[in-house]
Every structure is written in C-alpha cells, then in structure tokens.
C-alpha cells in the first residue's frame, strides 16, 4: 500500500479550488485499491476546512495545527517535511502556486526527493512515475521521471484536473507540528488594483481583450461593446500590466480562473499557456485573431480569422439593429 499526500491550499480563510483538483490528480496515481489519498491542511484554522475537503477520493484528512492562519514558507516547509517523515508518501502533490514556489524546491532539494514543477500530466508508465510539464517556454512537452526516488514532490498546474463530484466521510486526524521559527510575518493582503471590482470568477459571459487592441485609447470601444452585449470585459496579462484594465480583470495563471464562465470571446489574444490556464475549460470559446496559426484557435469552439476592429464594428451594427 502506498500513500499519495495532497497539500491543500487556502488563502484568507478560503480553500483554493486547486486543492480539489489535486485530489483528482492523486486518484490517477493510485496503483491499486489499497493505496490511500491523504490530504493535509496546514494552519491555525485547519479544522474549518474539514467540510470543504470531505470529498470523493479522500481517505484521510490530516489537520496540521500551525501557529499561522495563512501561508508561511518556514511553517509549511517544516509541516510538509514532518508529514513526509511520518507518512512516507510515494508522491506529494502541491498546487503550482506562489505558495509552493516559496518552499517546495528547497524541501525537495534538502531531502533529495524527486521534484517536478507545473505538472499537467502525472501518471505511471509501465510502473514508472512520469510527470509531464512544459519546456522551452511551453513549446514542447517534457516527460520527467525520477529514477531511484522513493518520494517525489510535484507542483500541479491549476485548471487541468477535473474535480471529482460528490462528498465523503474521510477519517480526520490531527498532526502535531513542533514549534517552527518563522522568518517572515504576514502583515496584510493587498489587492493588486480593482479591489472593489466585479469578481470575474463568478460571471458567465466574458469578452476579453489582448495585445491585439494595440493602444490604450482602443480599450474604451471594447468596454462599450462588452457593455452592450451584456459581457464582462476582461483581458490578458499585458493589458493589465500596462494598467489599461485593473489586475482584477486579468484571466490566466497569474490572474484569475474564470470558473463560472460559459461564453468567452477572446479578441486579439494569442492563447499563451498562461492565459489558457484561466479559461480553456469554458464550454464555448470564440476567438478572433488575424493570425490563423494563433494557439487560441486550438481550444476555440468558433474561430474567426479577422481583424478585431472589423468584428467590433460588425457586432456593434448587429447589436444596434
Ligand atoms: C509566470 C507567468 C505568468 C503569466 N500569467 C499570465 C496570465 O495570468 N494571463 C495572461 O494572459 N498572460 C500571462 N502571462 C503572459 C503570457 O505568457 C503571454 O505573454 C500573454 O498571455 C500574451 O498576451 P496576448 O495574447 O494579449 O498578447 P500576444 O501574445 O502579443 O498576442 C496578441 C495577439 O493579437 C493578435 N492580433 C494583433 N492585432 C490584431 C488585430 N487587429 N485583430 C485580431 N488579432 C490581432 C496577434 O495575432 C496575436 O496573436 C504570464 C507569463 C508568465 C511567464
């Protein structure tokens, strides 16, 4: 029997959805029915996450009572290290996030564990654990194996593994963490622009603009189009980085995953892996791009090779009719 350990992630007292995706990824790593998926949640309010983590696929829930409410790299590293020493998992799954980037590599390196980041396929190939991740700026897929490693840490890309449906009653256990000397202190959370803005993760219809809009002065006409069409205007990262729209409107890996969106219109967006991480699950994606080879067309249900300004004009006249 082997154990697959999932480290759940929370922020500001809310479970991050990727935690549930990790449970689904862990299921795919069970080699036989006796293998166990064990989920650990670390923090002073660990018990408050029991209902949210009592889901299909979880055999045991470990509450690691720590001195901190939110993420702290020293505390989390010590906690995961102690959990591994105690449970001896074959695989440890963590979200690929700013939190895990703060301690997972150090932990794996210090202990000599196998390690792969930003993994989007985790599987056994002929009894060999293999992680697939992007390489050369996501231009190729790289398969990584871990010869001779009895424990492997993987950070898993968000929005890849489909959450399993249904609740469960996992065994809940407590795990004592020895005191940890933390070197940092969480003073406050700062929303990067648009703190009071609409929550784009809850809206159903999004019109999203990318670098194809060219200049800041062109934002307004797309804002008006979105408003007329009843859509929420969002964007790719360059638009948010330039300050043309608030950061709260950025879709993607370092932006938001638009979990409730049903219709996504991508205007002048190339379809980088980081952008698609936030929207590729949307059932209906319509992409407009002048480049027929743009990656966004690989996930679009409807693709239009055209200039977004022509499409904008056409849509405006259709909506006005
Ligand atoms: C760690 C990390 C995290 C990141 N996180 C995110 C993220 O969360 N979200 C995100 O979006 N990006 C993110 N990025 C950036 C990402 O790699 C891309 O650089 C970005 O998504 C590109 O944005 P874009 O598609 O708008 O621009 P481009 O890639 O420049 O594409 C512009 C597209 O517009 C088309 N175009 C130009 N003019 C027209 C026209 N008139 N009509 C129609 N089409 C036109 C072009 O053919 C092109 O395909 C991240 C990068 C890193 C390294």
Q: Could you tell me the distance, in angstroms and rounded to a whole number, from the CA of residue 94 to the centre of ligand 1?
A: 27
Q: Could you tell me the distance, in angstroms and rounded to a whole number, from the CA of residue 9 to the centre of ligand 1?
A: 28
Q: Which CATH architecture has domain 200-320?
A: 3-Layer(aba) Sandwich (3.40)
Spell out which residues line ligand 1, taking CB within 6 angstroms.
210-212, 236-238, 250-255, 268-270, 272, 274-275, 278, 288-291, 294, 307-309
Max distance between CA atoms of the chain, in angstroms, equals 69
pLDDT score, position 234: 98
Closest CA to 84 of 29, 14, 7: 7
| d(C-alpha 271, C-alpha 296), whole Å | 4
pLDDT score, position 81: 97
Place of tokens 């990727």: 18
Q: Mean pLDDT, to the nearest integer, of 39-54? A: 97
pTM score: 0.74
| d(C-alpha 96, C-alpha 262), whole Å | 25
The overall average pLDDT reported for the chain is: 94
pLDDT score, position 47: 97
Query: For residue 296, which atom of ligand 1 is closest to its CA?
Result: 49
> Which is the CATH superfamily of the domain at 3-176?
HUPs (3.40.50.620)
In the chain, which residues fall in CATH 3.40.50.620?
A: 3-176
Give residue 140's pLDDT band: very low, low, confident or very high (50, 70, 90): confident
Closest CA to 8 of 52, 37, 40: 40
Is pLDDT at 191 greater than 70 in this prediction? no
| d(C-alpha 91, C-alpha 153), whole Å | 6
Residue 143, both tokens: 């398969």
Is pLDDT at 30 greater than 70 in this prediction? yes
List CB contacts of 16: < 8 A, sequence separation 6 or more: 8, 9, 10, 95, 97
CB 258 within 8 A of CB 231: no
pLDDT score, position 193: 59
Q: What is the pLDDT of residues 243-299, one digit of tens each?
A: 999 999 999 988 888 888 999 999 999 999 889 988 988 999 999 999 999 999 999
In the chain, which residues fall in CATH 3.40.50.1220?
A: 200-320
Q: What is the pLDDT of residues 83-128, one digit of tens each?
A: 999 999 999 999 999 899 999 999 999 999 999 999 999 999 999 9
């Amino acid at each position: 029997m082997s154990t697959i350990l999932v480290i759940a992630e929370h922020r500001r007292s809310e479970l991050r959805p990727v935690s549930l995706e990790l449970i689904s990824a862990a299921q795919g790593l069970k080699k036989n029915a006796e293998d166990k998926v064990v989920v650990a949640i670390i923090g002073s309010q660990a018990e408050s996450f029991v209902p949210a983590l009592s889901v299909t696929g979880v055999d045991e829930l470990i509450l690691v009572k720590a001195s901190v409410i939110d993420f702290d790299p020293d505390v989390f590293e010590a906690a995961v290290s102690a959990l591994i020493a105690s449970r001896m998992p074959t695989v440890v799954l963590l979200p690929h996030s700013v939190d895990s980037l703060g301690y997972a590599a150090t932990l794996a390196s210090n202990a000599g564990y196998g390690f792969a980041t930003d993994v989007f396929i985790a599987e056994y190939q002929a009894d060999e654990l293999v992680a697939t991740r992007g390489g050369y700026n996501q231009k190729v897929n790289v398969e990584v194996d871990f010869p001779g490693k009895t424990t492997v840490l993987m950070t898993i890309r968000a929005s890849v593994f489909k959450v399993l449906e249904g609740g469960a009653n996992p065994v809940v256990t407590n795990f004592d963490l020895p005191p940890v000397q933390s070197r940092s202190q969480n003073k406050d959370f700062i929303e990067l622009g648009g703190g009071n803005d609409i929550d784009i993760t809850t809206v159903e219809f999004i019109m999203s603009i990318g670098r194809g809009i060219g200049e800041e002065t062109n934002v307004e006409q797309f804002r008006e189009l979105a408003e007329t069409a009843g859509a929420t205007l969002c964007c790719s990262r360059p638009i948010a980085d330039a300050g043309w729209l608030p950061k709260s409107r950025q879709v993607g890996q370092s932006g938001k995953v638009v979990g409730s969106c049903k219709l996504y219109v991508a205007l002048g967006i190339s379809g980088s892996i980081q952008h698609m991480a936030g929207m590729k699950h949307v059932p209906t994606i319509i992409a407009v791009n002048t480049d027929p080879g743009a990656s966004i067309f690989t996930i679009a249900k409807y693709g239009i090779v055209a200039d977004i300004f022509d499409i904008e004009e056409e849509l405006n006249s259709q909506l006005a009719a």
